[in-house]
Amino acid sequence: MSDAPLILCADDDPDILALLALRLEGAGFRVVQAVDGEQALALARELRPSIAVLDVMMPRLMGVDVLKALRADPSTRDLRVILVSARAQQSDIESGLAAGADAYLAKPFQASDLIGVVRGFLDS
Amino acid sequence: MRVGSSAEVVELVTTPLGEGFRGRGGMALPTRVSTVFASVGAVAIGVYFMLGFDGKALWYVVIGLGSVGAIFVGARRLERGRTAWYLFGFGLLFSVAADAVSGYYEVFRDREPPVPSSADVLYLTTYPVLIAGIVLLLRELGVHRSRVAVLDSVIVTVAVGIVQWVFFVEPYAHSSLRTVTRIVGISYPTMDLLLLVALSQLLLGVGSRTVAYQLLIVAVVLWVVGDEIFGLSVDNYAAGGWVDMFWLGSYVFWGAAALDSSAAHEAPRDRRAVPRLTIRRLALLAGALLTPPVVLVIEHEWPQHNIHPVSIAIGGVLLALLVVVRFAGLVRAVEGARAAERAANNRLRELDRLKDEFVATISHELRTPLTSISGYVELVRERADAESSGYLDVVERNAARLLVLVNDLLLVARIQSGQLDIDLGGTVEVGSLVSESVASAQPHAAGANVALRLRSGTGPVRVRGDRRRLAQVLDNLISNAIKFSPNGGAVDLSLERHDGTVVLEIADQGIGIADNERGRLFDRFFRASSALDRQIPGTGLGLYISRAIVEAHGGRIEARSVEGEGSVFVVELSIDR
């Protein structure tokens, strides 16, 4: 279990955060949870996870800002980032991808979709 | 004729309002009393012209007294505004007294009364009393007191003043008569000037729509016309001449006005702060502005008076300045209104922006709990038995429905603010798009026992546009067709190519749409009454969204229907070459 890939999940909604963790742990990954953007950034720098799943609308630091900070830092530049948001307009998705996200999932999403994307990144 | 026709109008208006002209002492006046009075008056005037000299003098006083009596009778029954009519009665009583004095001179002294005489004192007392009556009446009618209304009155006063000065005052002012005679001679046209200004207010006001006040206006006009003709031909005037017709007519109309039942009604009040620039008001102002040149032309063609060009020039300049001020005010008011409109538009745009932000936030806030609901339902389902799984289906279906609604509302908000995000850069093959939509709707159709059939005669057809959005239109139209179909019915789709365009028709055998509702079918939140009657669920957003998407693609969507037999929705898009 300890050698399973580590996934960072960040969402300010505790129910959704718990759901993400449940689903990813159920799929055999290790999960570390953050409740806001600042914590997510700190954990990403400290723990070097394989993948980060970030909610876009978070207090203190928005998901997109965390993403930009990760991309600006050489040590975390290559971290795979999946943005998750209830803002699902075409324009939201485009701006998320333009900021450097590897994938953008609109809420509500199916657990299988999320796990599929995560597996896809880990395999490549 | 005039009186007869207005009396008919009165009858129409007043018959159901008998209460309105019932007198204080229980005295009721028949509706036609004013017509009868005017007819008798007309006959009396006719008789006047057939009488001898002495008879005329007496008869003149009799007609006058008859009118004064009519005015007092009419005034007594009024609930309000009685003072004005009493003033008319007393004013005319002075005039009749003056007529009696004149008659006395003519019959017993065999000459016109001297100037000045007690007749002049009585006549000149008549005017202020009548004018006071009109002013009171105007107050009763809610006359305008705004700057504009005052300005209009001043303009009319100046114009009438020019006429009175040139034709009536100036000849007296520069004559060699005694000072007292000159003052008396000038007093009449001056009083007429005031009477005319009061009359103009009556004409412009709402009072002119009431029969009683129309009769009153005629009375005042006849009075002033009589005065003016007399003033122009004072040397040729002989008692009993045709000019008397005007004053006698004025008496009769004044009495008829007082007796008319409409005088008792609440006149429609004009509550506007500033009077409207009606055609009548405009005509009056234009007439006023044209007074100086017209006076000059008249004096040039028929020179009778020693006119003073400077006085006309001064009057003309004054008029021009007043009219400029009047219209400058109007233009500035319009500009002010425009500025206010611009400010209001900016505020609306800001509100629109806030609304968009609000909708986006609300949509986000709604999707977040929906994410939890469907996520955890999915989780529980994996461990649920068959019965619980059925219940979870219900939760999931409703969560999905809620999500569709949230998405639709967000889309509507975007359409409203012109921010519908559609990617027109792509190319869409319509045939495959339609087959996919039909295929994905098959389970729904089967569940409703509706046959879903596609006939395509086009081969591959490409259009420019957003595949996801166009699919949304098709899904929507197909699901509508299924929803409104009877059990065992059929939905037929056909795809055809017409020069340059591809036409998709979706025909159902459903309840149809009423003719008078077809125009509003694509309106936001509109639901056909046939759908409401049958309690077919829906939000009234689908067709609105579909139209917005089709039109954003430069296409056309329309509905044909025969109520009870079914509907056909037609989508037409341009083929990409």
Which token pair is A48? 């070097």
- For B456-480, how does the pLDDT look when each residue is reduced to its tens digit (9 = 90+)? 877 788 999 999 899 999 999 999 8
Is A88 in the B-facing interface, judged by CB distances under 8 Å?
yes
- Quick check: B356 pLDDT over 90? no
Which of residues 60 through 79 in chain A touch B, CB cutoff 8 A?
none
Question: Is residue B179 assigned to a domain?
Answer: yes
Under the banding of pLDDT at 50, 70 and 90, the label for residue B2 is: very low
Instruction: Say which residues have a Cβ less than 8 Å from residue B36's Cβ, sequence separation at least 6.
Output: none
Average pLDDT over residues B364-391: 89
Average pLDDT over residues B214-230: 89
B111 to each of B101, B108, B120, B188, B227, how far by Cα in Å?
12, 8, 15, 21, 20
Q: From B189, B256, B200, B253, select the one nearest B224 (Cα to Cα).
A: B189
B409 and B458 share one domain: no
- Specify the amino acid at residue A6: L
What predicted TM-score, i.e. pTM, was given to this entire model? 0.53
Is B375 in the A-facing interface, judged by CB distances under 8 Å?
yes
Measured between CA atoms, the residue of chain A closest to residue B468 is A90
Q: From B8, B79, B91, select the one nearest B267 (Cα to Cα).
A: B79
Q: Are B291 and B163 in contact (CB under 8 A)?
A: yes
B412 and B434 share one domain: no
Tokens 């009364």 correspond to B113
CATH fold label, A6-119: Rossmann fold (3.40.50)
Which residue range forms the structural domain that includes residue B409? Answer: 345-416
Q: Are B14 and B262 in contact (CB under 8 A)?
A: yes
- For B382-403, how does the pLDDT look when each residue is reduced to its tens digit (9 = 90+)? 888 989 999 998 998 889 888 8
Measured between CA atoms, the residue of chain B closest to residue A15 is B372
Instruction: Say which residues have a Cβ less than 8 Å from residue B142's Cβ, sequence separation at least 6.
Output: B205, B206, B269, B270, B271
Instruction: Say which residues have a Cβ less than 8 Å from residue B277's Cβ, sequence separation at least 6.
Output: B330
Distance CA B89, CA B67 (A): 8
- Quick check: B353 pLDDT over 90? no
Is A18 in the B-facing interface, judged by CB distances under 8 Å?
no
Q: Are B197 and B153 in contact (CB under 8 A)?
A: yes
Q: Which of A84-98, B333-347, B547-561 has the lowest mean pLDDT?
A: A84-98
B471 and B406 share one domain: no
Q: Which residues of A touch B410 (CB under 8 A)?
A: 89
Average pLDDT over residues B415-430: 83
8 Å CB contact of A87 and B360: yes
Report pLDDT for B130: 93
Report pLDDT for B222: 93
B84 and B208 share one domain: yes
Report pLDDT for B126: 93
Tokens 């279990």 correspond to A1
Question: Is residue B93 assigned to a domain?
Answer: yes
DSSP state, residue B166? I
Is B376 in the A-facing interface, judged by CB distances under 8 Å?
yes
Q: How many beta carbons lie within 10 A of that of residue B111, not counting itself?
A: 8
Best A53, A91, A97, A107 member to test B by mutation, with max B CBs in 10 Å, is A107
B367 and B432 share one domain: no
Report pLDDT for B570: 94
Which token pair is B537? 């669920």
Which token pair is B265? 């009604």
Distance CA A93, CA A103 (A): 9
B204 and B58 share one domain: yes
B469 and B402 share one domain: no
B439 and B376 share one domain: no
Distance CA B66, CA B556 (A): 77
CA distance A91 to chain B (A): 7
Report pLDDT for B442: 92
8 Å CB contact of B364 and A19: no
Measured between CA atoms, the residue of chain A closest to residue B400 is A108
- For B273-299, how does the pLDDT look when each residue is reduced to its tens digit (9 = 90+)? 667 778 888 888 889 889 888 888 888
Is A15 in the B-facing interface, judged by CB distances under 8 Å?
yes
Q: From B239, B139, B121, select the one nearest B191 (Cα to Cα).
A: B121
CA distance A73 to chain B (A): 30
Distance CA B263, CA B343 (A): 46
Report pLDDT for B229: 85
Q: Which residues of B touch A91 (CB under 8 A)?
A: 421
Question: Is residue B507 assigned to a domain?
Answer: yes
Q: Are B519 and B543 in contact (CB under 8 A)?
A: no
CA distance A68 to chain B (A): 22
Question: Is residue B470 assigned to a domain?
Answer: yes
Given B416, B449, B468, the domain boundary residue is: B416
- Specify the amino acid at residue B324: V
Under the banding of pLDDT at 50, 70 and 90, the label for residue B327 is: confident
Report pLDDT for A103: 93
- Quick check: A29 pLDDT over 60? yes
Q: Cite the DSSP H helix spans in chain A.
A: 14-26, 37-47, 63-72, 90-98, 111-123
Question: Is residue B251 assigned to a domain?
Answer: yes
Average pLDDT over residues B168-192: 81
Strands (E), B417-459: 427-429, 451-456
Average pLDDT over residues B18-37: 56
Question: Is residue B228 assigned to a domain?
Answer: yes
Q: Which residues of B touch A16 (CB under 8 A)?
A: 368, 371-372, 375
Please name the member of A86, A90, A91 whose beta carbon is closest to the beta carbon of B368. A86
- A109 or B262, higher pLDDT: A109
Is the peptide bond preceding residue B114 cis, with omega within 30 degrees of 0?
A: no
Report pLDDT for B206: 59
Across B76-92, b (16+ Cβ under 10 Å) vs e yields: bbbeebbebbbbbbbbb
CA distance B377 to chain A (A): 11
Is B398 in the A-facing interface, judged by CB distances under 8 Å?
no
Helix (H) or strand (E) holding B463: strand B462-464
- For B477-499, how does the pLDDT look when each residue is reduced to its tens digit (9 = 90+)? 999 899 888 899 999 999 998 88
Report pLDDT for B145: 67
Average pLDDT over residues B116-140: 88
Strands (E), B333-482: 427-429, 451-456, 462-464
Question: Is residue B317 assigned to a domain?
Answer: no
8 Å CB contact of A86 and B372: no
Cα–chain center distance at B176: 56
Which token pair is A56? 């876009």
Report pLDDT for B306: 65
Under the banding of pLDDT at 50, 70 and 90, the label for residue B53 is: confident
* Greatest C-alpha distance within chain A: 39
Question: Is residue B67 assigned to a domain?
Answer: yes
Q: How many CB pairs (< 8 A) connect A and B?
A: 55
Facing residues of A85 across strands? A106
Facing residues of B495 across strands? B456, B504
Domain with residue B545: its CATH number is: 3.30.565.10
B375 and B468 share one domain: no
Q: Are A56 and A83 in contact (CB under 8 A)?
A: yes
B101 and B235 share one domain: yes
- Quick check: B434 pLDDT over 70? yes
Report pLDDT for B17: 38
How many distinct structural domains can be found in chain B? Answer: 3
How confident is the prediction for chain B on average, in pLDDT?
A: 83
- For B131-149, how does the pLDDT look when each residue is reduced to its tens digit (9 = 90+)? 999 888 888 777 666 777 7
8 Å CB contact of B379 and A88: no
Would you tell me the crossing angle of helices B211-232 and B2-14 to the nearest 10 degrees? 160
- Specify the amino acid at residue B163: V
CA distance A80 to chain B (A): 23
